[in-house]
Amino acid sequence: MRPMAALRHAPIARAAQFRALAVSCGIGSRETAAKVAAVPPVSKKMAPGVLIGMSESDLQQLALEFGQDKYRGKQLHQLLYKRKIKEIQDLSQVPLAFRNELQEAGWRVGRSPVYKEVTAADGTVKLLLKLEDNRLVETVGIPVEDAKGSVRLTACVSSQVGCPLRCSFCATGKGGFARNLKSHEIVEQVLALEEIFKRRVTNVVFMGMGEPMLNLKEVLEAHRCLNKDIQIGQRMITISTVGVPNTIKRLASHKLQSTLAVSLHAPNQKLREQIVPSAKSYPLDAIMNDCKQYLLETSRRVSFEYTLLAGVNDTVDHAIELAELLHKWGPGYHVNLIPFNPIDGSEYKRPYRKAVLAFSAALESRKVTVSVRQTRGLDASAACGQLRNEFQKVPLLGDANIEESEQVEESELEMAVSS
Ligand code: SF4
């Protein structure tokens, strides 16, 4: 594939491209950085838009703007987030005239229809939501029952339609990239799963389609809504990243009590670049330094995700090297091992259980806390991006975008990789 070839042979062009993608995804400019640092308040006169994602005070302000009592905003809040009403006209507790005026002004609830629902034997449910522009986005609900019989429901949410980073083992990366999701399009994934499971989502992981750090502004807005409006504890939310220069520190500055999960997948830079092409623009030492800052700023332990690929990164020697890397950067880390989920057209293979156990034991014996993630819902095309690719095969990022991004000046490379 032409873009990939260009990336393989030209690290500077790759980093410049990364920078261009970052800019196109809304994280690249100082101006945008300022917006990320402080989510702007709702303007006095609200432009018509989507109700999902709005806070209670936003909704109260909206009610006042329509000449209603303030408490109508509180009602709207309850109807949207507790009753999960999907259409303006179904907000039947508020006066018909108010509903009509909202609709005439162009307001809508902002819930997308479920295009496809697939349930795996273990209860994992994968949904495809059809967005307003007909793009499909994946979300996964993973129910887990503990020994006492209480059920935890984890929502694995997407932050982009597709992903521009093209990690070599990832079905989403192979499907290309279309656009960032808006915060309400992230929040509605959780509401859709709550409706399907008829229970509350207890945990949210930003580990679905897309790189959350390339859409940090909307991810932070969605995080606010999930925490404050849907009442999911910050500690129950995990934001994952494969590593985007300058964004971990930016996230740390918000001092959220959420977990940062960094997809490492290799114990050294050379192997990492092979598995995660975008790693060329973000050296391992810089990532580890930023993770240390995250720990210092938030007192939250960083989780390192490590996908085990048979014969590539799964030997005991790799585990020893990983332990040495983590010890170099101090305590406060956890390793989450993920045996690779086979995907169509991939040259990678799932490691044998014996290799997974040996890798895990080598880390444990070196005092690294480690867990092995259970594979869930394999029969529901569980690998991230597989289900969407099955139903939407249109290319998402045109070659023109790639070529344009390769022409970014070298000075921008420095900005992209500076921490
Ligand atoms: S693993 Fe994550 S960052 Fe990498 S291509 Fe897939 S979705 Fe994007």
H or E segment at 220?
A: helix 216-224
CATH of the domain at 83: 1.10.150
Q: Does residue 391 form part of some domain?
A: yes
Q: Does residue 42 form part of some domain?
A: no
* Distance from residue 301's CA to the centre of ligand 1 (Å): 22
**CB of residue 163 inside a 6 A radius of ligand 1:** yes
pLDDT at 34: 38
Q: Does residue 273 form part of some domain?
A: yes
pLDDT at 386: 61
* Distance from residue 242's CA to the centre of ligand 1 (Å): 7
Note down pLDDT in tens along the chain; length 419 residues: 333 333 233 333 444 444 444 444 444 443 333 333 343 344 445 677 999 999 999 999 999 999 999 999 999 999 999 999 999 999 999 999 999 999 999 999 999 999 999 998 888 999 999 999 999 999 999 998 887 888 899 999 999 999 999 899 888 888 889 999 999 999 999 999 999 999 999 999 999 999 999 999 999 999 999 999 999 999 999 999 999 999 999 999 999 999 999 999 999 999 999 999 999 999 999 999 999 999 999 999 899 999 999 999 999 999 999 999 999 988 878 999 999 988 777 889 999 999 999 999 999 999 999 999 877 665 545 555 565 566 655 433 333 333 333 322 233 223 332 32
* Distance from residue 319's CA to the centre of ligand 1 (Å): 23
Contact present, 240 and 338 (Cβ < 8 Å): no
Q: How many domains does the chain have?
A: 2
- Whether residue 266 is found in the same domain as residue 308: yes
| 98: CB partners within 8 A, 6+ apart | 63, 66, 68, 72
- Whether residue 100 is found in the same domain as residue 230: no
**CB of residue 91 inside a 6 A radius of ligand 1:** no
CATH of the domain at 353: 3.20.20.70
Q: Does residue 46 form part of some domain?
A: no
Q: Does residue 22 form part of some domain?
A: no
- Whether residue 129 is found in the same domain as residue 99: no
The pair phi, psi for residue 206, each rounded to 5°, is -85, 75
Burial zone of 120 (CB within 10 Å; 0-12 exposed, 13-18 middle, 19+ buried)? middle
Across 226-239, b (16+ Cβ under 10 Å) vs e yields bbebbebebebbbb
Q: How many residues appear in the chain?
A: 419
- Whether residue 92 is found in the same domain as residue 146: no
Counting ligand 1 atoms within 8 A of each CB, the residue from 165, 180, 306, 396 with the most, and so the one to mutate, is 165
- What is each CA distance from 241 to 48, 81, 183, in whole angstroms? 33, 28, 17
Counting ligand 1 atoms within 8 A of each CB, the residue from 139, 169, 172 with the most, and so the one to mutate, is 172
**CB of residue 138 inside a 6 A radius of ligand 1:** no
- DSSP code at position 87: S
- Whether residue 88 is found in the same domain as residue 121: no
Range of the domain at 364: 112-417
- Whether residue 312 is found in the same domain as residue 277: yes
* Distance from residue 168's CA to the centre of ligand 1 (Å): 9
Q: Does residue 149 form part of some domain?
A: yes
- Whether residue 307 is found in the same domain as residue 286: yes
- Whether residue 98 is found in the same domain as residue 126: no
- Whether residue 180 is found in the same domain as residue 265: yes
Q: Which atom of ligand 1 is nearest to 209's Cα?
A: 7
pLDDT at 419: 24
- What is each CA distance from 279 to 14, 66, 250, 337, 368, in whole angstroms? 10, 50, 19, 19, 24
**CB of residue 161 inside a 6 A radius of ligand 1:** no
Residues classed as catalytic:
138, 384
* Distance from residue 194's CA to the centre of ligand 1 (Å): 25
Report the distance separating Cα 210 and Cα 160, nearest Å. Answer: 4
Q: Does residue 382 form part of some domain?
A: yes
pLDDT at 247: 97
- DSSP code at position 225: I
- Whether residue 391 is found in the same domain as residue 260: yes
**CB of residue 174 inside a 6 A radius of ligand 1:** no
- Whether residue 299 is found in the same domain as residue 358: yes
Report the distance separating Cα 158 and Cα 347, nearest Å. Answer: 25
- What is each CA distance from 346 to 57, 85, 286, 373, 386, in whole angstroms? 48, 41, 29, 21, 12
Task: List Cβ<8 Å contacts ≥24 apart for 358-367.
Answer: 358/316, 358/319, 359/308, 359/314, 359/315, 359/316, 359/318, 359/319, 360/319, 362/316, 362/319, 362/320, 362/323, 363/319, 363/322, 363/323, 363/335, 366/320, 366/323, 366/327, 367/323
Which of 104, 135, 161 is the endpoint of a domain?
104
* Type of residue numbered 3: P
Q: Is the pTM of this model over 0.85?
A: no
Tokens of 292: 């240390």
Q: Does residue 256 form part of some domain?
A: yes
**What is the number of H-type helices and E-type strands within the chain?**
17, 12
- Whether residue 280 is found in the same domain as residue 412: yes
Which of 104, 130, 165 is the endpoint of a domain?
104
Which of 68, 85, 104 is the endpoint of a domain?
104
- DSSP code at position 113: P
